[in-house]
């Protein structure tokens, strides 16, 4: 009887120690992994926000939730958790090159944009990133 009791306790402890099932986060439509896009338009507070002269905003989509942004100065790695088509828990990596002030300002604006947790809408080969104050429309590069 004691062996049966011990076996039952071991089974119960094993069930308690089992790893939790992985949480599946919905990815908007199909994350364009490995694809590069450029900004076709950028608006802030309903007004056009053109890029700094002689720059182009480029976005490379890596694994789901990770985007590499190049805006003509530093390269910014944006990592996030995707939650219902929205980028949450956003973090950054990047280079720290000295550039002209307007290019550094453009980089800072992009960090602020992604810090707001944009929604990601992927459809018909285009990507639209939207926060309450701004929108970036991307087309294949």
Does residue 53 lie within any of the structural domains? Answer: yes
Per-residue confidence band for 100, with pLDDT thresholds at 50, 70 and 90: very high
Does residue 50 lie within any of the structural domains? Answer: yes
Does residue 11 lie within any of the structural domains? Answer: no
Domain count, the chain: 1
Mean pLDDT of the chain: 84
Question: Which residue from 80, 57, 60 is spatially nearest to 68, judged by alpha carbons?
Answer: 60
Six token digits for residue 86:
């929205």
According to the 3-state scheme, what is the secondary structure of the chain? CHHHHHHHHHHHHHHHHCCCCCCCCCCCCCCCCCEEEEEEEEEECCEECCCCCCCCCEEEECCCCEEEEECCCCEEEEEEEEECCEEEEEEEEECCCCCCHHHHHHHHHHHHHHHCCCEEEEECCEEEEECCCEEEEEEEC
Residue 29, pLDDT score: 55
Does residue 73 lie within any of the structural domains? Answer: yes
Per-residue pLDDT of 7-52, as tens digits, reads 333 333 333 444 444 444 444 458 899 999 999 999 999 999 999 9
Does residue 8 lie within any of the structural domains? Answer: no
The residue assigned the tokens 């900004």 is 39
Does residue 114 lie within any of the structural domains? Answer: yes
Q: Check which CATH number belongs to the domain holding 32 and give it.
A: 2.40.128.270
Does residue 29 lie within any of the structural domains? Answer: yes
Domain residues for the domain of 83 are 22-140
- Residue with the bigger pLDDT between 15 and 140: it is 140
């Amino acid at each position: 009887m004691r062996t049966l009791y011990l076996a039952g306790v071991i089974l119960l402890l094993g069930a308690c120690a089992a790893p939790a099932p992985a949480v599946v986060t919905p990815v908007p439509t199909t994350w364009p992994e490995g694809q590069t896009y450029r900004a076709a338009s950028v608006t802030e507070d309903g007004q056009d926000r053109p890029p700094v002269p002689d720059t182009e905003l480029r976005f490379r989509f890596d694994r789901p939730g990770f985007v590499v942004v190049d805006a003509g100065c530093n390269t910014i790695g944006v990592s996030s958790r995707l939650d219902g088509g929205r980028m949450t828990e956003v973090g950054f990596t990047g280079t720290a090159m000295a550039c002209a002030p307007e290019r550094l300002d453009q980089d800072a604006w992009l960090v602020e944009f992604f810090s707001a947790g944009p929604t990601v809408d992927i459809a018909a080969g285009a990507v639209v990133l939207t926060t309450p104050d701004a929108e970036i429309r991307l087309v294949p590069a």
